[in-house]
Chain A
């Protein structure tokens, strides 16, 4: 149980295009989902926290108009990278939690490469 999936697992796009990444909790309802990005050989940096049905809370320095997050249901959150540029190339990982429970479950990640 407690599986989080991400789609796609990798994507290559041209500079200026938008890319949508989906995060799904497969066997539980996630009241809160988190989006992280990870650069090579670095730690995970939290981008934003989203609760179902409400606006996401972005971390300092993360452009909310560039990284659009939608958490429309208890099992699905999407991250859209708008007008992607090469510097947006990274590994994006989502995570999901039920309420205030201690445990947080992570997706397998999405590798984004912007040419």
Chain B
């Protein structure tokens, strides 16, 4: 069965320091991987995605993520955190069956709350 794991419920980082939010996945085949951010009482905002190609993906607001196939990981990173980055972050994987048809579904991780202190 396909799954996504975010092992940390919360990550605390001082402003200006680098941040990492961890994500590992378990799917068959070659997945599509995503990161989304959610602010309180809001829907999800797309940050970045990995489909194919370069393992390092750059996204919105200075975030990037590295796809590591051998470790089945897709950790989210940012070199210098801002207080405004404080939010809930979700890693997600597109279920590769049935063959990325219109019916295939996105599976979300449990979420990681990122807190940036001034």
Could you list which residues of chain A lie within 8 angstroms of chain B, going by C-beta atoms? 4, 6, 31-32, 34, 41-44, 46, 49, 51, 57, 91, 93, 95, 97, 99-100, 102-109, 111
Contacts and interface: CB of A to CB of B under 8 A. Distances in A.
Contact of A46 (B43, B49, B105): B105
B49 A102 contact: yes
Given A93-B43, A106-B43, A100 B105 contact: no
Given A31-B102, A51-B102, A43 B42 contact: no
Contacts of A42: 110-111
Given A42-B111, A102-B49, A34 B42 contact: no
A43 B108 contact: yes
Interface of B: 32, 36, 41-46, 49, 51, 90, 94, 100-106, 108-111
Contact of B46 (A32, A105, A108, A111): A105
Nearest to A10: B41
A109 B43 contact: yes
Contacts of B32: 102
A111 B41 contact: yes
Nearest to A51: B102
Given A43-B90, A102-B32, A93 B102 contact: no
A95 B108 CA distance: 13
A109 B42 contact: yes
B94 to A, nearest CB: 7
